[in-house]
């Protein structure tokens, strides 16, 4: 009722090692609430170990305070994931790997470079790899080297008040 998420685990998970896959992409808040509810329910029902695989970690770009008074959203999300009983967290290509340290359980980061390179090879014969910012340059380099391609990044500037992004240059 009232648009709330309803979660029920219809099988016994007692003494089982459970792997739960849940994206937290749009609508992020709904997916996160579902993840919190499923995780705590699975542990309450007696699961021995809960591993959660998150292909996209919502709020990971808010990894610091850009303006006074802002929440460090990823820190809060990872603390909550720790509190609902998740033993192990697998994240695919987080925004910044160091941000994941706020999770208090076992952490595994998965890098999809090989799969991306394979798909790029299928789609084009002469790729140029362009990272969306300097922070993604290392990822672009790894893919480009695998493909024997050139690479660069976009220099951009974000207005902290409006969120508007302006491209400064492509080095």
Q: Point out the residues that are catalytic.
A: 156
Which contacts (CB < 8 Å, 24+ apart) does range 140-149 have? Answer: 142/111, 142/113, 143/113, 143/116, 143/117, 146/113, 146/114, 146/117, 147/117, 147/120, 147/121
Q: Which two tokens stand for residue 123?
A: 């789609």
Question: Measured between alpha carbons, how far is 113 from 116 in angstroms, rounded to an integer?
Answer: 5
Bond into 27 cis (ω within 30): yes
List of residues 6+ apart from 130 with CB closer than 8 A: 140, 151, 152, 153, 154, 170
Q: Which residue shows structure tokens 């994206």?
A: 23
What angle (nearest 5°) sits at the alpha carbon of residue 76, between those of residues 100 and 96? 30
């Amino acid at each position: 009722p009232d648009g709330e998420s309803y979660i029920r685990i219809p099988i016994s998970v007692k003494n089982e090692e459970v792997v739960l896959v849940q994206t937290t992409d749009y609508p992020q808040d709904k997916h996160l609430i579902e993840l919190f509810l499923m995780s705590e329910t699975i542990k309450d029902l007696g699961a021995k170990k809960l591993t959660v695989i998150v292909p996209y970690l919502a709020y990971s770009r808010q990894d610091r305070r850009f303006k006074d008074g802002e929440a460090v959203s990823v820190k809060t999300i990872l603390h909550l994931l720790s509190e609902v009983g998740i033993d192990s967290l697998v994240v695919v290509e987080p925004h910044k790997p160091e941000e994941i340290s706020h999770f208090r359980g076992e952490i595994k980061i998965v890098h999809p470079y090989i799969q991306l390179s394979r798909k790029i090879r299928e789609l084009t014969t002469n790729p140029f790899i362009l990272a969306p910012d300097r922070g993604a340059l290392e990822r672009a380099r790894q893919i480009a080297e695998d493909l024997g391609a050139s690479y660069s990044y976009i220099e951009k500037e974000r207005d902290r008040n409006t969120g508007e992004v302006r491209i400064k240059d492509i080095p």
